[in-house]
Amino acid sequence: MAKGGFGGMGGMNMNNLVKQAQKMQKQMVEMQEELNQKTIEMTSGGGAVKVVISGKKELQELKINPDVVDPDDVEMLEDLILSAVNEAIRQADEMYNNAMGKFTGGMGGLF
């Protein structure tokens, strides 16, 4: 085995590699905390239903326009709520994936 560490690593300083990994991990944790503080607002039915979720995908707010509350058509209201919540969750996932992609994009699937 070659001197200076792992064979084939060109004498890469393992301490520097570990420090870089720790720095990257710290940045990822900070980014996750920042994302968790953000909110996503989504509406459906032309604004009849509005939901707000956190970056942690926790429902924080649900507003329903009283004009869409029809006791004879509860299914429509349920569909509007599901649509708004699911789209907000999808956007939260996209926001998270885009932010984390900055860290994992060049890692070739290591993360």
CB atoms near residue 28 (< 10 Å): 16
Scan for tokens 């942690």, then name that residue: 56
pLDDT in tens, 46-78: 999 999 999 889 999 999 999 989 999 999 999
> What local confidence, expressed as pLDDT, does residue 36 receive?
87
Number of residues in the chain: 111
Let me know if domain 39-104 sits in CATH 3.30.1310.10: yes
- Give the domain ranges of the chain: 39-104
Contact (CB, 8 A) for 5 and 12: yes
**3 CB burial (10 A radius; 0-12, 13-18, 19+):** exposed
Contact 91, 54 (CB under 8 A): no
pTM to 2 decimals? 0.69
